[in-house]
Structure 1
Amino acid sequence: MRKTLGLIAIVLGAGTAGAQMDPSFAPCSICHTVAPNQNRIGPTLNKIVGRPKASVPGFAYSPAMKAQKGVWSEAELDAFIANPKAKVPGTRMVYAGMTDPAKRARLIAWLKSIK
C-alpha cells in the first residue's frame, strides 16, 4: 500500500506541488500532472487558474486550443471540464467531461490551491 501511494504521489507530482491530490483529479491524472514544467499527453495544470489559454511552453496544443483567447478563469475551466468538446470544438482532449458540478467545483478549488 505504501509503495502504491508513493508511486501515485510521484506520478502526479503532488509532492512537488505541495498539495495532496484531490480524488476529483484522478481521471485528469491519466494525461495531466500538476508538477511545474512537466507536460504529459496533456499540459501541466500547475497554476492553471488565471493562466493564459494554450500558454504552457513546450506543449503542442491543437489548432482549436491555440485559437482560444483569454485566461483560464474558474468559470472557463468549469465549462471546459464539464464538456471539453462542446467548449472547444476540435480539441484533442479525449475526456468526455465531468458531469457533477460539485466535483468540478472541488477540482477547480484544488487546482487553484496548487502553488
Structure 2
Amino acid sequence: MRFAAIVAALAALTVSASQSWAQDAAAGEKVFAKCKACHVADTDQNKVGPSLFKLNGRTAGTHPDFKYSPAMTDAGKNGLVWDDAKLTEYLKDPRAMVKGTKMAFAGLKDDADIANVIAYIDQFK
C-alpha cells in the first residue's frame, strides 16, 4: 500500500513537472515578435539577420547568401551546430556565447520565453 502511494505521488509529480516544462509554439510566436525585424523562421529568406528556417542541425555561420560576422563563421568552423541546448545558451546572451557577433539583441531572460521561441522556430523543419 505504501509503495503504491509513493508511485502515485511520483507519477503526479512527473506529470505536473512535464506540463510546466512543456514548450508552447503559439506563445513562442508572440515572443518571436521581438525577432521579426531581423529574422524569418517560416520561410528560407534572409533579412537583416539570417533565415531561421530549418535552423536546428545547421552549422553556425553557414546559411547561404548571408554575410555573417567573422566571430559567427569562426564559431561554426569550431564546431557550433544549432540545437535546442545551444540555442537556449545563445538566446540568453548572444554576445557572451559568440563574442564579436554582430547580432545586437541583448537576449531573452525568461527561460519559458526561450523554450517557447525555440518551439516556434523548431516547428519549421
The AA in structure 1 aligned to 2:96 is A
- What's the TM-score once normalised by structure 2's chain length? 0.72
Is residue 81 from structure 1 mapped to residue 88 from structure 2 by the alignment? Answer: no
Equivalent of residue 109 in structure 2, options 81, 99, 107: 99
Matched with 1:110 is 120
Structure 1 CA distance, aligned partners of 2:123 and 2:73? Answer: 26
What secondary structure sits across from 1:67 in the alignment?
helix
Matched with 2:18 is none
More helix by share: 2
Structure 2 CA distance, aligned partners of 1:97 and 1:34? Answer: 17
Q: CA RMSD in A?
A: 1.6
Q: 1:19-78 CA distances to partner (integer Å, 9 max, x unpaired)?
A: 977101011111001243310110000011111111110000000000012310101001
Identity in percent:
40
Equivalent of residue 57 in structure 2, options 50, 55, 66: 50
Greater relative contact order (Cα < 8 A, sep 6+): 2
Matched with 1:22 is 29
- Rg larger for: 2
Change over 3 Å in CA distance of 1:77–1:90 after alignment to 2: same
- What's the TM-score once normalised by structure 1's chain length? 0.78
* Structure 1 residue ranges, 4+ long, deviating more than 3 angstroms after superposition: none
The AA in structure 2 aligned to 1:65 is M
How many residues align structurally?
A: 97
Q: 5+ residue gaps in structure 2?
A: 1-24
